[in-house]
Amino acid sequence: MARITASVYTSHVPAIGAAIDLGKTHEPYWQPVFKGYEYSRQWMTDNPPDVIFLVYNDHATAFSLDLIPTFAIGTAAEYQPADEGWGPRPVPVVKGHPELASHIAQSVIQQDFDLTIVNKMAVDHGLTVPLSLMCGELDPKKDAWPCPVIPFAVNVVQYPVPSGQRCFALGQAIRKAVESYDDDLNVHIWGTGGMSHQLQGARAGLINREWDNAWLDQMIADPAACAATPHIDYVREAGSEGIELVMWLIARGAMADVADKNHPISVRRRFYHVPASNTAVGHLILEN
């Protein structure tokens, strides 16, 4: 059967993508950020998944105010990198896994989560920046991402947004779905976005290092309690865009210790850096 062996968590700051694409990763401002992911890129090479289930948010790129799915699963064969205003990022096309994605859609919808099924969608920095951080620089003409990706878009942009509790329960349903797939696939689940940042209004530029790190501690050690954090706490403490963190709870809910207390998980990597652009960068790798 397929199984989830690890989860990866990372911020998705678009300026990180631009720094990679414009060859600025060695500049003093960016060096500490990319250094923080060196271990993780090696870990990806040493622990290659067959499929990445990538939880992210679209930033009014594929969706607009015309159509606002709370949870959308990509079932397509491929996804083009989006043009976010400066042309599409020069990264490889993202190949999907329609068979596993369709199976997960069937299983998770039957577990009473109303997913939107998406057969055509461009993917923005929410998805491509985490891939670049973990997989390194790739030439779209010669290279491919290391494996197929199932994009799973969560609405954290337009209110009302889903609760951490619902995201955590959804992660548990995704785990059941993956484990009921017959093929022997090694699946990684990624939760992306965050940590504290606010891009708008009077508090633009807000970063809360203390709250972020306390949230990480609890998310690792007691995810059920962390999932009970009300959405207003994210907004108050981590800024309006800090709400992106509920997506991490989907990946956390899919981990082995949540399904079975006798199955401890291990923290393979933890990294935190302030700031990158307007955002506090947080990153974790958890293994089952």
Interface ranges with ligand DHB (CB under 6 A) = 12-15, 59, 197, 199, 241, 277-279
The verdict on whether 283 is a catalytic residue reads: no
**CB 151, min distance to ligand DHB, A:** 16
Could you give the CA distance from residue 83 to residue 167 in angstroms, rounded to a whole number?
28
In the complex with ligand DHB, the residue whose CB is nearer, 97 or 197, is 197
Is there a catalytic annotation at residue 197? yes
Amino acid of residue 15: A
Give me the catalytic one of 59, 97, 125, 283.
125
b/e map 49-67, b = 16+ CB within 10 Å: bbbbbbbbbbbebbbeeee
Q: How far is the CB of 217 from ligand DHB (least distance, A)?
A: 22
Give Cβ neighbours of residue 229 (< 8 Å, ≥ 6 apart): 164, 215
Whole-number Å distance between alpha carbons of 116 and 63:
12
Q: Closest distance between ligand DHB and the C-beta of residue 14, in Å?
A: 5
Residue 13 or residue 149: which is nearer to ligand DHB going by CB?
Answer: 13
Report the nearest approach of ligand DHB to the CB of residue 123 (Å).
13
Q: Which is nearer to ligand DHB, 59 or 175 (CB)?
A: 59
d(CA 175, CA 152): 14
Active-site position among 59, 97, 188, 197: 197
Residue 155 in 3-state DSSP?
coil
- Of 204 and 225, the one with the shorter C-beta distance to ligand DHB is 204
Place of tokens 């105010």: 65
199 or 265, CB closer to ligand DHB?
199
Length of the chain: 288
Alpha helices of 143-265 — where are they, by DSSP H?
164-179, 209-221, 223-227, 231-238, 246-253, 256-259
Query: What's the closest the beta carbon of residue 276 comes to ligand DHB, in angstroms?
Result: 7
**What positions carry a catalytic annotation?**
125, 197
